[in-house]
């Protein structure tokens, strides 16, 4: 999936690895995390597959810069991936795995776990509230402005998901506090 995210970004315009990392951090990172090393490793795979080409730009006093461009084959791969109806619905959640087995801990520790989660979800929601400004900035850089509508829909999903998780952690805390009071 990371490869398709990178192809999607390059479909908007040519970028260096550093620029891809920065745009990734400002946009995709809210729902798909990737380390810098993963991005650069994937760029190598994309180039090997013929989906991107790199052009080296020499710079005075700085390391040379590689500018990546999507190829026609890369654009076809992106289009194929977007048009494929099969969606991976596998769910992996460390939070839910821990929650499932949380009965092994004292209730007060479980309450603290959910309070910490609640704080983290609130911080993420606050960060997601800033995405509208990023969307406006990046929208100005691309020719097809309708893409920003899809970016906004993705951001809205993230905000709703964070709010759902905030509500869920608050419910978990209340239920555990009630259980603790009954002791």
The residue with tokens 């905030």 is: 166
Name the pTM for this structure: 0.75
Is residue 50 helix, strand or coil?
Answer: coil
Residue 141 backbone phi and psi in degrees, to 5? -90, -5
pLDDT of residue 149: 87
Q: Which residue has the higher pLDDT, 183 or 114?
A: 114
pLDDT tier at 24, thresholds 50, 70, 90: confident
pLDDT at 178 over 80: yes
* Distance in angstroms (rounded) separating the CA atoms of residues 79 and 87: 15
The residue with tokens 């048009």 is: 83
pLDDT at 6 over 90: yes
Mean pLDDT value across the chain: 90
Is residue 61 helix, strand or coil?
Answer: coil
pLDDT at 140 over 80: no
* Distance in angstroms (rounded) separating the CA atoms of residues 77 and 69: 14
pLDDT of residue 92: 79
The residue with tokens 């893409």 is: 147
């Amino acid at each position: 999936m990371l490869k398709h995210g990178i192809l999607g970004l390059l479909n908007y315009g040519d970028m260096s690895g550093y620029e891809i990392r920065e745009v990734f951090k400002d946009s995709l990172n809210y729902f798909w995390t990737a380390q810098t090393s993963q991005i650069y490793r994937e760029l190598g795979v994309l180039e090997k597959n013929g989906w991107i080409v790199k052009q080296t730009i020499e710079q005075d006093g700085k390391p040379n810069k590689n500018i990546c461009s999507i190829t026609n084959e890369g654009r076809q791969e992106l289009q194929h991936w977007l048009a494929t109806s099969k969606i991976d619905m596998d769910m992996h959640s460390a939070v839910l795995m821990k929650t499932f087995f949380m009965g092994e801990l004292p209730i007060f520790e479980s309450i603290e776990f959910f309070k910490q989660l609640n704080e983290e979800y609130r911080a993420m929601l606050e960060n997601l509230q800033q995405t509208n400004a990023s969307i406006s900035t990046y929208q100005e850089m691309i020719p097809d402005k309708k893409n920003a509508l899809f970016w906004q829909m993705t951001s809205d999903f993230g905000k709703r998901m964070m709010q759902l998780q905030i509500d869920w952690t608050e419910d978990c805390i209340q239920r555990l506090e009630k259980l603790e009071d009954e002791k």
